[in-house]
Amino acid sequence: MTDPEDLAERVREGDLRIHELEEHADYDTAAHARRLLVERETGTELEAIGDYAFPAEEADPNIENMIGAAQVPMGVVGPVPVSGGAADGEHYLPLATTEGALLASVNRGLGVIRSAGGADARVTKHGMTRAPVFRVAGVTEAAETVEWVENNFEALRTAAESTTSHGELLDIEPYVVGDSVYLRFAYDTKDAMGMNMATIATGEACERVESETPASLVALSGNLCSDKKPAAINAVEGRGRSVTADALIPGDLVEDRLHTTADAIAEANTRKNLIGSAKAGSLGFNAHAANVVGAAFLATGQDEAQVVEAANTITTMDAREREDGTTDLYASVSLASLEVGTVGGGTKLPTQAEALEVLGLRGGGDPPGSNADALAEIIAVGALAGELSLLGALSSRHLASAHEDLGR
């Protein structure tokens, strides 16, 4: 076996490059050699980073120049009571975070939802997008290109779907800006998050567009997709999966468990999440939906950068008066662009695969797409619980004391 000390020294001397180590040793030895190099160059002990629990080779598709693993504390909330289009029953939801009090808050919200009979959730739209940008001479050529695309959707679908055995092209939406033509391709990617799938398929379709129109491809992504950036188009048109969850909480349960009233929570939501967000120019009209989404993404192997799209969430809270004069609370969250999958990417890593096993959603579903739909619905109910708990704490003025009590 190659000595990691020797490999580290060869890199220091310039005989090897840091990304070439796997060519001279197994993956774990290469990671060890890089770790030794970094320790010597920075004077830092990397004992915890190097104490990972899976073969480094299993992470090869997910990272380059590996030195170890970032170990984020993982907890569990639930069970999450959901009646969904794909998810049904109760599910424990693993969440990985370094933010104290988050899981306690979400669990409190889930307890209230469970006592109220559970939450409903539905994926209302699918569509992982990729939007290439083309150059044309002017508006006449732009119109010609758009017309050809609209008249030849089936030919473009055939080209795109020739690259994948799972993805389906759903739509192509054209946008013209001067001498630039953007084509926003949308795909049903089944149980995969599908960004790579959509990119490869769109590249194939772009070759047909270039061969049949005056348009010349400038970039396979023209940012109208829009991936890993806050964007109004995702809030309006959706990306990945659009999912909504809601629950009706009896007024006495709000008072007993959240120590406030339906009217107070509804007012807090309106003034904070709706008016306050509008004044701030926010693309997310919610309290902290990204908190739950981010923790779920880390736990289940999603692309953590896409949390920025999942923050495109609108929370609504409505006080509903009954005939007997009591007031219940209607609570909902609508996540316009939740990009999740249960196959591919980070979902194959051992820790994340185990978290998906906890949910009963590892791998492809039957029918295809059902596991990723179920994951989206469960995350949405988790986000709803987080919104309910935080708004309850705010309207009862218990937010600061809760963090103090938990030592955060």
Average pLDDT of the chain is 95
Residue 93 maps to a domain: yes
pLDDT at 400: 41
Shared-domain flag, residues 108 and 240: yes
pLDDT at 120: 98
Residue 375 maps to a domain: yes
Indicate which residues carry an active-site annotation. 99, 303, 403
Shared-domain flag, residues 173 and 256: no
Residue 69 maps to a domain: no
Shared-domain flag, residues 55 and 86: no
Closest CA to 59 of 31, 36, 33: 31
Shared-domain flag, residues 285 and 366: yes
Q: Give the Cα separation of 248 and 119 in Å (integer).
A: 8
Boundaries of domain holding 299 = 74-125+231-407
Shared-domain flag, residues 214 and 358: no
- Per-residue confidence at 51, pLDDT binned at 50, 70, 90? very high
Which of 173, 196, 219 lies at the terminal end of a domain, its last residue? Answer: 219
- Residue type for position 113: I
Whether the per-residue pLDDT at 402 is higher than 50: the answer is: no
Shared-domain flag, residues 145 and 269: no
Shared-domain flag, residues 94 and 203: no
H/E stretch holding 11: helix 4-12
pLDDT at 325: 87
Whether the per-residue pLDDT at 398 is higher than 80: the answer is: no
pLDDT at 292: 98
Shared-domain flag, residues 145 and 29: no
Report the CATH number that the domain containing residue 292 is assigned in CATH.
3.90.770.10
Angle, helix 195-212 to helix 153-161, in steps of 10 degrees: 130
As a whole-number percent, the residues of the chain with pLDDT over 70 amount to 97
Which of 158, 193, 219 lies at the terminal end of a domain, its last residue? Answer: 219
Which tens digits make up the pLDDT trace of 19-47? 999 999 999 999 999 999 999 999 999 99
CB 264 within 8 A of CB 396: yes
Whether the per-residue pLDDT at 328 is higher than 80: the answer is: yes
Q: At residue 314, what are phi and psi to the nearest 5 degrees? A: -110, 125
Shared-domain flag, residues 246 and 354: yes
Angle at 362 between CA 92 and CA 305, to 5 degrees: 85
Q: Give the Cα separation of 258 and 101 in Å (integer).
A: 16
What is the count of structural domains for the chain?
3
Stretch 227-251: mean pLDDT:
97
Residue 334 maps to a domain: yes
Residue 66 maps to a domain: no
Shared-domain flag, residues 49 and 169: no
Shared-domain flag, residues 334 and 250: yes
- Per-residue confidence at 315, pLDDT binned at 50, 70, 90? very high
Residue 320 maps to a domain: yes
Residue 308 maps to a domain: yes
- Per-residue confidence at 2, pLDDT binned at 50, 70, 90? confident
Instruction: Give 163's Cβ-side CA count (13 Å radius).
Output: 20
Shared-domain flag, residues 102 and 244: yes
Which of 199, 219, 239 lies at the terminal end of a domain, its last residue? Answer: 219
Residue 213 maps to a domain: yes
